Amino acid sequence: MRHITSLVRLAGGLTLAGVALIAGCSASPERAGHDASEHSDSTLAAAADSIGPALERVTAAELRARARAAGGRATLVNLWATWCAPCREEFPDIVRLAAAHRDRGLRVLFVSADFDDQAPQVRAFLAQHHAPEPWLLKTGDDQAFINGIDGRWSGALPATLVLDAQGNVTAFWEGRADYARFEQAVLPLLASSPAIPGGTP
């Protein structure tokens, strides 16, 4: 996992200011790995310019409102970043979950914690993985965003919340999960919660 708290921009890339790193992601947003795959990222970014929707910037309050208005029996919110290896590793499982249970009332909201200037790479990644819309990007102060999402969130990525049809958080965790865990968190809601008519994903 990787914390987004107190991320600061430096001339040579990104670093953490006063935040301890815990196992999972690299000490910086994988700039070394990004450099090695820069050509690939550029190609994907160019492709994303012609396919897929634009990113929507959201604050914590806007995200919570969006989740409450999703209109499904269950809404899974996944907070991730392109530089977070565990985020990338679990991403296909969430996309598969969204496709498997959409007709039963599951809505999935992916929210990138990348910097704004990484938007082309974010869109490229989402397009490559056929992520469901909307495509969301965190905006505003990191700590305010963290505080506004859930009191249990330390800022580590990835982080996942599951909400019922009324917008109540029924599950929360930090760190990578597999398909079985995601499905286990949403199935009870899909079986028992009434969908809210007129909601929009």
Where along the chain do its domains lie? 2-192
Q: Which CATH number fits domain 2-192: 3.40.50.720, 3.40.50.2300, 3.40.50.740, 3.40.30.10?
A: 3.40.30.10
pTM of the model: 0.78
The per-residue pLDDT for 133 is 95
Give the residue-averaged pLDDT of 55-84: 95
CA separation for the pair 73, 189 (Å, rounded)? 6
For residue 31, what pLDDT band results from cuts at 50, 70 and 90? Answer: very low
CA separation for the pair 191, 21 (Å, rounded)? 38
The per-residue pLDDT for 1 is 59
CA separation for the pair 64, 140 (Å, rounded)? 15
CA separation for the pair 106, 188 (Å, rounded)? 11
For residues 3 and 86, the model is more confident at 86
pLDDT digit string (tens) for 36-58? 444 455 555 555 455 568 899 99
The per-residue pLDDT for 18 is 29
CA separation for the pair 115, 81 (Å, rounded)? 9
pLDDT digit string (tens) for 150-195? 999 999 999 999 999 999 999 999 999 999 999 999 999 999 856 5
User: Where is average pLDDT lowest: 2-11, 115-124, 170-179, 190-199?
Assistant: 2-11
